Amino acid sequence: MKWLAVGKRLAKDWSMSSTIRLGHLLALLLLLPGCNSLNPLCGSARPAPVLSSISPTTIAFAQLPATFSLILTGSQFVSSSVVVFNGTTLSATVNSKSQLTATVTSSLIAGPGNYSVQVQTPAGNSADFGCSSGGKSATLPLTVT
């Protein structure tokens, strides 16, 4: 920035290069893809969960207990992650970032067949700054024979 004499007053001369640099910085911050460490505006966004496996993968309908624990293994699980069992949202215990446990009741299983299991994480407070937040994992089947 320079000071220029204009008549009897001094005026600030903002160089064009400073304005361009500021514009580039703002554009970069607003257009950064996804939510990662490069975008400082994504501080409270949550990662999308990744579901790799479930246990058990198969259960016999004739031997179905009133409730059973379903263990989900994957990555990017957070305290707000939930399990969706065949369309029904179940609360989950987060054992670690890579393991969840949910309790499934027999009333959710009408008979033999495949039942979908998925992990969902709600979006964080990422506003609209180009941040992705939360999401759904792939779906895995629990087979009831």
What pLDDT score was predicted for residue 123?
A: 80
pLDDT of residue 73: 97
- pLDDT for the residue numbered 36: 47
Listed as ranges, residues in the chain with pLDDT below 70 are 1-45, 124-132
What are 5-39's pLDDT values in tens digits? 555 555 555 555 555 566 665 555 555 454 444 45
Give the whole-number percent of the chain exceeding pLDDT 70.
62
pLDDT value of position 47: 83
Query: Can you give the pLDDT at residue 63?
Result: 94
Q: What is the pLDDT of residue 142?
A: 98
Residues with Cβ within 8 Å of 86's Cβ and at least 6 positions away in sequence, in order, are 108, 115, 116, 117
**CA distances from residue 38 to 32, 44, 66, 131 in whole angstroms, order as listed:** 7, 14, 48, 11
Q: How many CA atoms lie within 13 A of 43 on its CB side?
A: 2
> Cα 97 from chain centroid?
12
What does the angle CA 101 – CA 72 – CA 53 come to, to the nearest 5 degrees? 165
Q: Quote the pLDDT of residue 46.
A: 76
17 phi, psi to nearest 5 deg: -65, -35
Lookup result for tokens 């220029």:
4
Q: What is the CA radius of gyration of the chain?
A: 26
